[in-house]
Chains A and B, each alone.
Chain A
């Protein structure tokens, strides 16, 4: 059971994820580590395949563009690595199916903006008549998009309460209403889920505007 050197690669992914997501004083160290990552990017998935660490096998270098928040004109693809690739079309979504976890895509470069966890987005097709007036204004064809990041403690809000057509956070059970602008129904979350206005182009879902509120939990960013 003892695993000596062949486990050290765990730190690589941590760096890849947190180094870029951690605007702290470790910039010099992180810069060196990221450079080294470039040269290891090909070998590491193979190492991880042998050691059984699936998450590490999926490692890839994250560019600054991948960390940008959704930009106007961005498309979407699936968050799931297994499904990621195809751009999501309006016709892909079935009314009242569970919300789908997606990430933005730069349509010009094909860059998937999954470098920040704050880019995880929920999209779902709802009945247009069930949407509040404000929510209708943000939606296209009954499709709504919200930040997946819970405003309580930052967990992805991935559970679906089918009977009430609400979202629930699996961490602390905050419930949000996607029909009403992502408002809080119950639980510890202090504010609604930020919404993303949508439009469409060639049947593809397109970002129409920035999030209508700040992403995350705790105090607003300065």
Chain B
């Protein structure tokens, strides 16, 4: 006993010492090019984030509810045909640009691949400053993108691909402090936009293809010290650990079981509860980690002060398809059974099903209904009370056997944000149907999990991606009535995937890009009619946003094709025999800003 006590004391001492090192101040002036200091920067407060004033776009999804919606309506379905570019700004980088422009009182912040942050005058496009993150020289990551920044107080927070979370002076771009969140060398790099909540900055790393155990970490916004950290896969003694059965060749699968929390979450400010998405299992093959595998492929409710998990809903158990549930569900109060209004959660999931859930205000999440929005051949049905799927095991990937399934591993909808418009009562979903894949599961023992090597349990050359029906296209925009739970309209993009996050506005418009023809489109939100389209320099896979400066409304989107959208487009174009699939989509990041001509 004495020995154990001694050991624990020793460990505690060490752990404490390590904790002291988790954040540090740095002198990083040479990382930032300062063109012009931002004067009178408007402090971002909890109140401002909750209120989400329409002239700003402070959060990556516009508001804490995750709606991707703007109340602005100067640009509307009657005049959008006159929309025209007013300024552009080259990021001077290629690859996938996936960050929204984020606007605070006329100042725009855009993060880029390899973690530059560019601060611009949102009205003129003139540079204030540019921060270039000092990623390690031998950095390697699967996705070199960045999905946005967090704005809090007088600082801008950006995560690095090297697993750091960095606090910048909003006025000058100078880095003030940073925290090490993930270890990129094992595969725990960060692409997510951090989320600011009540003085903490929350972010989680990627790693679901590398055998990394997922987690979300909260950093104190002032000191860059760790406030809390919560693993998405419960350890011994924690609720849910029993869903990782100690069976088979890997009885300790929970240690490297994936569940990355690699996208920003949503927040119920009234009830003070976070809602976050949890990614796929690692490796992809569920038979290598028996059990339901909580909280993989789930949405979880968390206490923002402590990180404690208060509730969860798992969309499908023992994930075997790479159908990550990384996007947090939108917070929408809607009708239950067509009558009673309840606090709800709505989420179009990568598994191809749309989910309506109920939140009780204390963290408990209950199933209301699920409906497929694209073809899914792996689920026979959903239990009407719980939503738990019944599987068709001919389409559940396993080790040692080639299995095909639809939708593909990229899902019926990947990370690009859907939008909810309270004016139309509709949800707008960037969907991909008619795309499937097959592979033979592999027990990968030539390298260890969490060693920085691809560890998904498949050989990439063995992955076959194909269209279920060669005559049909893939990418779609779907509009669903949230209360009726029915699809209202659908636009088919044809021979392209759709990787475009969606913005809807009070002007009865839905904006989205993401297709291989480089178009940014404006749809009539009620009817789906295409009202306007404009060819960008490259395909935009970043969220479009709306903001206002000096009483004038602008629409901003960053074009820049890359990462998975680029690769999947190449694969599908190479297989296409119709001649309709555009193979050559140029790269190159450009921030585009549109407005109506002055009267």
Contact = CB atoms under 8 A, between A and B. Distances in A.
Given A11-B22, A156-B140, A168-B460, A2 B453 contact: no
Nearest to A162: B461
A1 B230 contact: yes
Interface string A7-45: 111111111011001111110010001001000100110
Contact of A29 (B18, B26, B256): B26
B309 A1 contact: yes
B454 A9 contact: no
A188 B571 CA distance: 12
Given A18-B184, A21-B136, A43-B14, A54 B142 contact: no
B21 A81 contact: no
B134 A14 contact: no
Interface of A: 1-15, 17-18, 21-26, 29, 33, 36, 40, 43-44, 46-47, 50-55, 58, 79-82, 98, 100-101, 116-118, 149-150, 153-156, 158-162, 168-173, 188, 216, 221
Contact of A3 (B137, B181, B231, B240): B231
Contact of A54 (B135, B144, B256): B256
Given A2-B228, A18-B136, A155-B140, A12 B309 contact: no
B146 to A, nearest CB: 14
Contacts of B183: 10, 13-14, 17-18, 55
Contacts of A100: 446
Contacts of A11: 18, 21-22, 179-180
Contacts of B11: 43, 46-47, 50
B234 to A, nearest CB: 6
Contact of A8 (B15, B163, B256, B308): B15
Contacts of A17: 136, 183-185
Given A12-B18, A26-B26, A173-B460, A158 B252 contact: no
Interface in B337-353: none
B543 interface: no
A1 B308 contact: yes
Contacts of A40: 14, 17-18
Contact of A101 (B17, B28, B186, B453): B453
Given A8-B15, A52-B213, A25 B255 contact: no
Interface in B189-229: 212-213, 215, 217, 226, 228-229
B451 A47 contact: no
Contacts of A172: 563, 566-567
Contact residues of B: prevailing secondary structure: loop
Given A5-B15, A47-B14, A172-B567, A25 B137 contact: no
25 contacts: A1-B234, A2-B306, A3-B230, A4-B228, A4-B229, A6-B15, A7-B215, A10-B182, A17-B183, A18-B184, A36-B17, A43-B10, A44-B18, A50-B11, A54-B255, A54-B256, A54-B448, A55-B451, A118-B138, A153-B140, A154-B138, A154-B141, A155-B454, A161-B461, A171-B142
Contacts of B229: 3-4, 7, 10
Interface string B1-13: 0000001001110
Contacts of A46: 7, 11
A148 B24 CA distance: 33
A156 B448 contact: no
Contacts of A98: 446
Interface of B: 7, 10-12, 14-19, 21-22, 24-28, 30, 95, 134-142, 144, 162-164, 179-186, 212-213, 215, 217, 226, 228-231, 234-236, 238-240, 252, 254-256, 306-309, 446-454, 456, 459-461, 563, 566-567, 570-571
A1 B239 contact: yes
B566 to A, nearest CB: 8
B447 A79 contact: yes
Contacts of B213: 52-53
Interface centre among B138, B184, B448 (most CB of A within 10 A): B138
Lowest 5 A-B CB distances belong to which pairs? A8-B19, A55-B450, A154-B140, A170-B454, A14-B180
Contact of A14 (B27, B139, B182): B182
Given A23-B137, A47-B14, A52 B450 contact: no
B24 A29 contact: yes
A177 B567 CA distance: 20
Contacts of B95: 153
A27 to B, nearest CB: 10
B459 A10 contact: no
> Which residue among B95, B183, B308, B563 has the maximum number of chain A CB atoms within 10 Å of its CB?
B183
Given A13-B183, A155-B140, A51 B235 contact: yes
A160 to B, nearest CB: 7
Given A29-B24, A80-B448, A170 B460 contact: yes
B446 A101 contact: yes
B136 A22 contact: yes
A25 B21 CA distance: 17
Contacts of B461: 159-162, 168
A18 B140 contact: no
Contacts of B239: 1
Nearest to B210: A55
A159 B230 CA distance: 33
B180 A24 contact: no
Nearest to B239: A1
A23 B30 CA distance: 13
A25 B15 contact: no
Contacts of A82: 448
A78 B51 CA distance: 56
Nearest to A79: B447
B257 to A, nearest CB: 10
Given A1-B230, A188-B566, 18 more contacts: A1-B240, A3-B307, A6-B15, A7-B229, A10-B229, A11-B22, A11-B179, A18-B136, A23-B137, A52-B236, A81-B451, A82-B448, A155-B140, A158-B453, A159-B460, A169-B460, A170-B460, A173-B567
